[in-house]
């Protein structure tokens, strides 16, 4: 059993980390981010992960320091990560340096930042992740979890 399977009954633990303002999902610009709340996102990720043989630990913070700390934890515990860095995507070199320490991170976005304002077109996180899934609403997370499950099975 790998470190990522400890305490999950054999399922690979996945950290699903969400950055600033994502606690406002449902209320925040629903025409851009949809009408589902963070609690609904967490419940769906939990169910999708379980169906894929994963155990999702869904978290959200508005704090860059806390998010960096969670990435350190993922690096130490060998947890794969689904990360929505939210606005930190576009400027946080501290988060980028933390992400670079984690072997398997998939960056996700609800919206498609490349199709929005100029400042959203750059991700300082993208160069240090395995890949990015953007523009599919909550399904961006489902696609990322499915890919993590495929990668975990391929490396088992
Ligand atoms: C976001 C896109 C970011 O540009 C924005 O700052 C967010 C959410 C998304 O999921 O579409 O907060 O990461």
The answer to whether residue 66 is domain-embedded is yes
> Higher confidence at residue 9 or residue 4?
9
Average confidence score pLDDT of the chain: 94
User: What residues form DSSP beta bridges with 59?
Assistant: 17
The answer to whether residue 51 is domain-embedded is yes
Ligand 1 proximity of 140 Cβ (cutoff 6 Å): no
Structural domain boundaries enclosing 21: 12-155
Q: Please, are residues 91 and 124 in contact by the beta-carbon 8 Å criterion?
A: yes
Q: Residue 155: is its pLDDT beyond 90?
A: no
The answer to whether residue 132 is domain-embedded is yes
Closest C-alpha residue for ligand 1 atom 2: 86
pLDDT for 1 equals 42
What is the mean predicted confidence (pLDDT) over 120-148? 98
Total domain count, the chain = 1
The answer to whether residue 138 is domain-embedded is yes
Task: Name the pTM for this structure.
Answer: 0.94
Active site amino acids: 33, 109
Main-chain phi, psi angles of 62, to 5 degrees: -95, 0
Q: pLDDT-derived band of residue 10, with 50, 70 and 90 as boundaries?
A: confident
Tens-digit pLDDT profile for residues 44-65:
999 999 999 999 999 999 999 9
The answer to whether residue 3 is domain-embedded is no
Residue 149 Cα to ligand 1 midpoint, Å, equals: 24
Ligand 1 proximity of 89 Cβ (cutoff 6 Å): yes
């Amino acid at each position: 059993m790998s470190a990522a399977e400890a305490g999950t009954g054999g399922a690979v633990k996945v950290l699903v980390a969400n950055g600033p303002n994502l606690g406002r999902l449902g209320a925040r610009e629903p025409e851009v981010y949809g009408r589902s709340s963070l609690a609904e996102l967490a419940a769906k990720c939990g169910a999708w992960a379980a169906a894929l043989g994963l155990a999702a630990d869904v978290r959200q913070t508005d704090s860059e320091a806390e998010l960096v700390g969670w990435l350190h934890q993922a690096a130490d515990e060998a947890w794969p990560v689904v990360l929505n860095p939210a606005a930190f995507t576009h400027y946080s070199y501290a988060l980028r340096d933390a992400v670079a320490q984690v072997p398997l991170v998939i960056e996700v976005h609800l919206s498609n930042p490349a199709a929005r304002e100029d400042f959203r077109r750059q991700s300082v996180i993208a160069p240090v992740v395995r890949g990015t899934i953007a523009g599919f609403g909550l399904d961006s997370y489902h696609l990322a979890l499915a890919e993590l499950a495929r990668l975990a099975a391929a490396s088992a």
